[in-house]
Structure 1
Amino acid sequence: MKIFAYGIRLDEQPVLEQWGKEHSEVTIDFTDQLLTDKSAAMAKGYDAINVYQQLPYSRATFEALSNQGIHIMAMRNIGIDNLDLKAAKEFNFKISNTPAYSPNSVAEHAAIQMARLFRRTPEMDAKIQNYDLRWAPTIGKEMRQQTIGIIGTGRIGRVLIKILQGFGSKVIAYDCYRNSEIEKEGLYVDSLDDLYRLSDGISLHVPAVSENFHMINDASIAKMKDHVIIVNDSRGELVDTDALIKGLDSGKISAFATDVYEKEVGIFNKDWSNKTFPDSRLKNLIDRPNVLLTPHTAFYTETAVSAMVNESLNADLSFLNGKQPASALKF
């Protein structure tokens, strides 16, 4: 059995190599290149592929792989919005994702960013870099006195709720698909409008499906409390960047933290320090003292990376052995 892995980063290589040592029945090779209809040729002669990328998996890519006899693909990440599932079905693919590699990694990141913004530590950090050690005007607020609204109570949202409750925050939540444990705690509100109206801080943890596109927009921002703080560690497409900038300019939104951006492909995970930055709206956000940006690294911990590689390769192996991994997609 032979597996070919695409887009392998330096931090993933030791995990992949260790998995290979523990599974001597499998030959595993890799490249740092991403999967496209052109690079699909690199997997010729292999039985399955392993992938992680934000670039689309197009019909042409599935066709190229199918023409080489490859119909098994395990993804090292959760999101499937860049998959052409219609094409995957057409070419008889079996696909898995990695839905639970480490919800704690993203939840911790969201909680940390939320707390930093309420305590105004980014602004204080910027002052200190200029040797300004005065206290004012960067007085913060205590998390225990804030009502935090969680949109999406999947694995990550539920971990975040526990972390915020540890701060003593009042937590409310909204999800179209309610979790029984969260329901027992009485945390759900009846509508997004209720959550917007009641929350001092809002954290997004929903997928980038069509009904969630630009859910943070002029209309929804208008329904929020004045000086609200928003955290988006989910998908860039959830936030209308123009509406966000207007909200920040007016002060309606007091601060914003994001690990994602709706036009991030081709920008994130690149060094722009000695180049012209290619996106004026993203630059506008980066230049603000009340905005925290990370380049899609909320997940990025040793624990999460190890789990992503190991669980996805285990799924590849299950498919190859004629079994259905628990993470297999239904489409």
Structure 2
Amino acid sequence: MMKFIAFNVREDEEKYFAQWEKETGNEVLRLPEMLDMTSVEKTKGFDGVLALQTGTYPSEMFAEFKKFGVKVFSIRNVGVDNVDLDAAKENGIVVTNVPAYSPNAIAEFSVTQLMQLLRNTTIFRNKVAKQDFRWAPYVGRELRSLTVGVIGTGRIGRAAINIYRGFGAKVIAYDLYPNPELKEQGIYVDSYDELFSQADVITLHMPATPNDHHLVNSEILNKMKDGSYIINTARGALVDTKALISALKSGKLAGAALDTYENESDIFNHDLSGKKIDDPIFKELLALDNVLVTPHIAFYTETAVENMVLISLNSAKSVCEDGTASTIVK
């Protein structure tokens, strides 16, 4: 019997962990707390560690894993920008992820958020609450009349492209590693500059790397069409929030939907009811009626949650049994 320990376990994940234990006969200790240097001691005696958090995992924990006999670190999400892969390799710890838990969940959400921006639903919701039922001057826009620029054409980006095309929108894209099928269709432009200058909507579906930090900055925003939109369901670090706010206030951007924020780890997935948020930039975002802020929930569907739990568990099990898994992060 293998023994795993899982951190950051939510109530909605519990039934899938229990289901897997029953089906495989292995044991999973579930904890609601984060994985950091104060909790890493609890991994002693376990074959593998599972976690899911937006905050950075401490590099030092991999040396502790090695000392405690942990063989695999399995994260229940795609992105590994918060994992020190070099430290893991130095200590002989295999890292796995969940490459695709539900691309459609994120793609659908990104389109849903854009549709709300195009039809000014936040503004009208606030007006109706005040019993102001006038329409003007908040006329909407139709998606089929817009050009959507998709950055990142992996599984999520391709799912988004299919949905946008279903609405009749023109879609262009940029990716460092173009998809052969999409390339044949002539969908790609050659640079970020081309994409940002041609598109009415920019939707981000790419991982975050040091090279892409603040990809969306004041310089690139100035190249966008007046009255355009930014949708970010990818990583907060891709967007310079101060520059975004300036563009929104000036009218350069008509709206933005942010499911992720560059300083989100102390805010998202926490109950801060009645508490002071000591982040003036975030509070400024919330005050804008042409911004939709959601707490990193684009992935959050029943299908995705089940896949995230089961794939991460099966990956850890495979590494412990066979020394390999299809989800190992290289």
For Structure 1 versus Structure 2, the TM-score category normalised by the shorter chain is over 0.9
Partner of 1:42: 42
Over 4 Å off, 4+ runs: none
Superposition map of 1:30-179 within 5 A: 30-179=30-179
**2:326 paired with 1:308:** no
1:269 aligns with 2:269: yes
Q: Distance in 2 between matches of 1:193 and 1:53?
A: 33
Q: Percent identity over the alignment? A: 44
Take 1:323 and 1:88, find their aligned partners in 2: how far apart are those partners? 15
Q: Distance in 2 between matches of 1:42 and 1:211?
A: 35
Q: Distance in 2 between matches of 1:266 and 1:119?
A: 31
- Can you give the 5+ residue segments of structure 2 that lack an aligned partner in the other structure? none
CA drift at 1:323:
4.1
- Looking at structure 2, the residues matched to 135 and 148 of structure 1 have their Cα atoms a distance apart, in angstroms, of 26
Aligned-partner SS, 1:320: helix
Q: Which residue of 2 aligns with 1:29?
A: 29
Question: Structure 1 residue 87: deviation in Å?
Answer: 1.0
Distance in 1, matches of 2:229 and 2:7, equals 37
The CA deviation string for residues 104-140 of structure 1, in whole angstroms up to 9 with x for no partner, is 1110110111111112122111211222222222210
Q: Partners of 2:272 and 2:58 in 1: how far apart?
A: 28
| SS of match in other structure, 1:229 | strand
User: 1:259–1:298: 8 Å Cα contact kept in structure 2?
Assistant: yes
Asked whether the equivalents of residues 110 and 203 of structure 1 are also in contact (C-alpha less than 8 Å), the reply is yes
Tell me the residue number matched to 1:186: 186
Aligned to 1:18: 19
Which letter maps to 1:239? V
Letter in 2 for 1:164: Y
The code of the aligned residue for 1:219 comes to E
Q: Distance in 1 between matches of 2:133 and 2:212?
A: 43
Render the CA deviation track for 1:224-268: whole Å, top value 9, x for unaligned.
101111101111111111111110111001101001111111111
Report the equivalent of 2:205: 205
Give the equivalent residue in structure 1 for 2:6: 5
Q: Aligned partners of 1:286, 1:82: CA distance in 2, in Å?
A: 26
Q: Secondary structure at the match of 1:74?
A: strand
- 1:75 Cα deviation after fit: 0.8
Distance, in Å, in 2 between the alignment partners of 1:317 and 1:279 is 41
Worse-superposed segment, 274-283 or 92-101: 274-283
Q: Contact between 2:217 and 2:244, CA under 8 Å: does it hold in 1?
A: yes
TM-score, normalising length from structure 1?
A: 0.97
Cα distance in 1 between the residues matched to 2:146 and 2:121: 17
- Distance in 2 (CA, whole Å) between partners of 1:305 and 1:5 is 14
Paired with 2:137 and 2:271, the residues of 1 have a C-alpha distance of: 33
Displacement of 1:37: 2.2
Counterpart amino acid of 1:50?
Answer: L
Aligned letter for 2:222? A
1:67 and 1:38 map into 2 onto residues whose CA distance is 16
SS at match of 2:314: helix
Number of the residue aligned with 1:322? 322
- 5+ residue gaps in structure 1? none
| 1:60-94 CA distance string (max 9 Å, x none) | 21112211111211110111011111211111011
Counterpart amino acid of residue 6 in structure 1: F
Alignment check: 8 A CA contact 1:258 1:292 kept: yes
Is the CA contact 2:65–2:93 (under 8 Å) kept in the aligned structure 1?
A: no
Distance of 1:158 and 1:49 partners within structure 2: 31
How many residue pairs are counted as aligned between the two chains? 329
Larger mean Cα displacement after TM superposition, 182-191 or 170-179: 182-191
Give 1:215's aligned amino acid: L
Q: In the alignment, which residue of structure 2 is the partner of 1:258?
A: 258
